[in-house]
Amino acid sequence: MTTTTVPRGGGFKGAVAFEWTKLRSVRATWWNLAMGLLLTVGFAAMVGSSAAASAAKGVDVTMPAPHHASQAFLISQLTVVVLATLALTGEYSSGSIRTTLQSVPVRGRMLLSKTLVVAAAVVVAGFVFSVLGSLVAAPLMGAPGDYSAGQLFGTALGAGLYLALLAVMCVGLGAVLRSAAGTITTLILVLLAVPQLLGVIGSSWLESFADFMPGEAGAVLMTGADDPYGAPVALLVLVLWGLASFAAGLTALRRRDA
């Protein structure tokens, strides 16, 4: 712990330090991270051993283990959604948003510092989860899962960035909806339900729209695939989702009384 004895302080740096103190001092943050780790590693082990079983039946499952293991995030991303959503909506449910805005009255500064702190924590978590998930899945997969160090870190970096931008969306949307239930439900729809539905309808226009949903872009970013587009486009798609949510959150925060 560092002791801030600087007489000036405050401003944006102060706001960031404030948000970091808040994030790390509630148990929900650590519970969510622990759950995220457990789910990632657990599902990575599952997909790893099912690939091994398929290989034993003669099915070609050749795929670098980190790419294969990244399917685990389909489930474990939800812990990140909860973590990031609660970081903002928890302030509304507890009433602490009023204290927060009294100490950081500039709305944009508050939202930006909260977004950055949550995203930074999630980047690290996503990277670590991915590496550990890959290391668990690889020995289970055996030879078909051979991978390079570049693939291991590439996927981990992709996972970190994808989850961080997902967290940005949660904070932005949380500022609009001000409710954990509403925000989490919306995100689950966007991540899981809507892409499925768009695929079922069978219109080619809707299917290509589904390609630009955040979950699909995240999968591209983590596996370095080049279909339907490459990693740079995937990153751009996610950044746009993040920016749009942030802008919506900022507008709501500025317009409405706290």
Partner 1 sequence: MITLDGLTKRYGGKTAVSDLSFEIRPGKVTGFLGPNGAGKSTTMRMIVGLDAPTAGRALVAGKRYAELRHPMREVGALLDARAGHPGRSARHHLLGLARSNGIPASRVAEVLEIVGLGEVARKRIGSFSLGMGQRLGIAGALLGDPKVLLFDEPVNGLDPDGVRWVRELMRSLAAEGRTIFVSSHLMSEMQDTADHLLVIGRGRIIADAPIEDVIAGSSLTAVRVRTPEPGTLGRALERAGMSVEASSGELIVVGGTMEQIGDLAFEQRVRVHELSMRKASLEQAYMELTAASVEYGSPNRRA
Asked if residue 90 binds partner 1 (CB under 8 A), the reply is: yes
- b/e per residue 130-168 (b: at least 16 CB within 10 A): bbbbbebbbebbeebbebeeebbebbbbbbbbbbbbbbb
Asked if residue 196 binds partner 1 (CB under 8 A), the reply is: no
Mark the segment that binds partner 1 (CB under 8 A) among 12-20, 143-151, 191-199, 238-246: 12-20
186 within 8 A of 245, measured Cβ to Cβ: no
CB of 241 to partner 1, least distance (A): 28
> Which of 15, 47, 82, 88 touches partner 1 by CB under 8 A?
15
Asked if residue 197 binds partner 1 (CB under 8 A), the reply is: no
> Which of 7, 143, 200, 227 touches partner 1 by CB under 8 A?
7
What is the Cα–Cα distance from 71 to 5, expressed in whole angstroms?
A: 46
Residue 204, exposed/middle/buried by CB under 10 A (0-12, 13-18, 19+)? exposed
246 within 8 A of 115, measured Cβ to Cβ: yes
Mark the segment that binds partner 1 (CB under 8 A) among 68-76, 99-107, 166-174, 193-201: 99-107
CB of 234 to partner 1, least distance (A): 35
How many residues form the binding site for partner 1 (CB under 8 A)? Answer: 35
Q: Which of 95, 202 has the CB closer to partner 1? A: 95
Residue position matching structure tokens 């959604």: 81
> Which of 22, 54, 206, 212 touches partner 1 by CB under 8 A?
22
Tell me the residue type at 81: V
Asked if residue 34 binds partner 1 (CB under 8 A), the reply is: no
Asked if residue 4 binds partner 1 (CB under 8 A), the reply is: yes
> Which of 34, 59, 103, 196 touches partner 1 by CB under 8 A?
103
Mark the segment that binds partner 1 (CB under 8 A) among 15-23, 147-155, 162-170, 228-236: 15-23
> Which of 27, 60, 143, 205 touches partner 1 by CB under 8 A?
27
Asked if residue 258 binds partner 1 (CB under 8 A), the reply is: yes
CB of 117 to partner 1, least distance (A): 11
Binding site for partner 1 (CB under 8 A): 3-11, 14-15, 17-19, 21-22, 25-28, 90-91, 94-96, 98-99, 101-106, 257-258
